[in-house]
Amino acid sequence: MQRITIDGLTQGTYFHIVYYGNSDNSDKIKKGIDSIFSAIDNSLSLWNENSVITRLNNGEDVKLDKIFIDNFYYSREISDLTDGAFDITVGGLVEAYGFANKERRRLSQTEINDLLRCVGYKKISLSEDSTHLVKEISQTKLDFNAIAQGYTSDLISDYLLSQQITSFIVDVGGEVFAKGLKPDKETWKVGLEEPAEDSLSEVKYDYLVELSDESIVTSGSYRKYYVENGMKYSHTIDTKTGKPVTHNLLSASVIAKKSYIADGLATAFMVMGVEKAKIFLETHKEFDAYFIFTNIKGEYETYATSGFKQKMRKAK
């Protein structure tokens, strides 16, 4: 059994896959993975002008594919679970604020109110045969970016399993799923980055998280924030207010059995903030999380659930 690595760029980020198997079919495995990335790009990419989601956002009536339908239902599941803290109808707000283009601008309250008319995950549905999207308001725009990479990790994991590969780790832009153990019976380990002052700071790992048959996803970043009145805030929009969140949670890492739900919950926690996220976790023990936030002095603090702590190991 050989250690095989596949690296590359996709969805505006990197991917890194390691598995143990037979190198004779490694070319076939790579082609299979590439086809998954291509299919997801054609369905969910906001940067692909011919993708299903782009055409829907432009007002076209498009026949939906399985990838879009899956993500619609998974998104609805997480929206229901988080009382709307996760909401794929945030697309118009993300576009208007310019976060996607890294050119943030302020919106007037009038602009926000107008955009909020189009926001609300219950304002969209699928047709009876699940082949078309139905919008209450035609201007509503969707954005699957908070779940698509997690879904991609799950899809690649399912593909590897279908090829009788049972020891692997899939990382798509930080959305990680680990399966089984390594041949030496070691668990897969993922680094938790130490808080950094800015995007130019050296990357250091404070802890390693041991994973087996589960996913870890991190949302938000203390490396990507804006400052107002001396406080650091993450680029996350609260769809209830239409404004960027004003709490002090800068990063949320979530462990779950599937990457899509870890991905969606990490984003939802960034909307909720530390205290509401803690309350959620008290009633949903099946998930574990690790938060990085700032206190009233602007200093970094961390919080981890007991289950998360059990998987943490001090990095050497």
Per-residue pLDDT reduced to its tens digit, 76-113 = 999 999 999 999 999 999 999 886 655 667 889 999 99
Give pLDDT, residue 268: 97
Averaged pLDDT, 268-289: 97
User: Quick check: 223 pLDDT over 60?
Assistant: no
Backbone angles phi, psi at 313, to 5 degrees: -130, 135
In this predicted structure, what is the pLDDT of residue 316?
76
Q: Which of 90-99, 196-205, 248-257, 274-283 has the highest mean pLDDT?
A: 274-283
φ/ψ (deg, to 5) at 206: -80, -40
Q: Report residue 251 as tokens.
A: 């990063």
- Does residue 198 have a pLDDT over 70? no
Is the four-CA dihedral 122, 128, 130, 132 of positive or negative sign?
negative
- pLDDT for the residue 246: 80
pLDDT number for residue 227:
65
| Residue 187, pLDDT score | 96
Least confident stretch, 71-80, 97-106, 266-275, 307-316: 97-106
Q: From the centroid of its chain, how far is CA 70?
A: 15
User: Alpha helices of the chain — where are they, by DSSP H?
Assistant: 26-44, 52-57, 66-81, 91-97, 109-116, 148-162, 259-272, 274-283, 306-311
* Cα Rg of the chain, angstroms: 20
In angstroms, rounded to a whole number, what is the distance separating the alpha carbons of residues 242 and 297? 27
pLDDT score, position 196:
62
Under DSSP, the state recorded for 166 is -
- At 244 the pLDDT is 84
| Domain 180-314 falls under CATH 3.40.50.700 | no
State the Cα–Cα distance between residues 94 and 37, nearest whole angstrom.
Answer: 24
Of 199-203, 269-273, 291-295, where does mean pLDDT reach its minimum?
Answer: 199-203
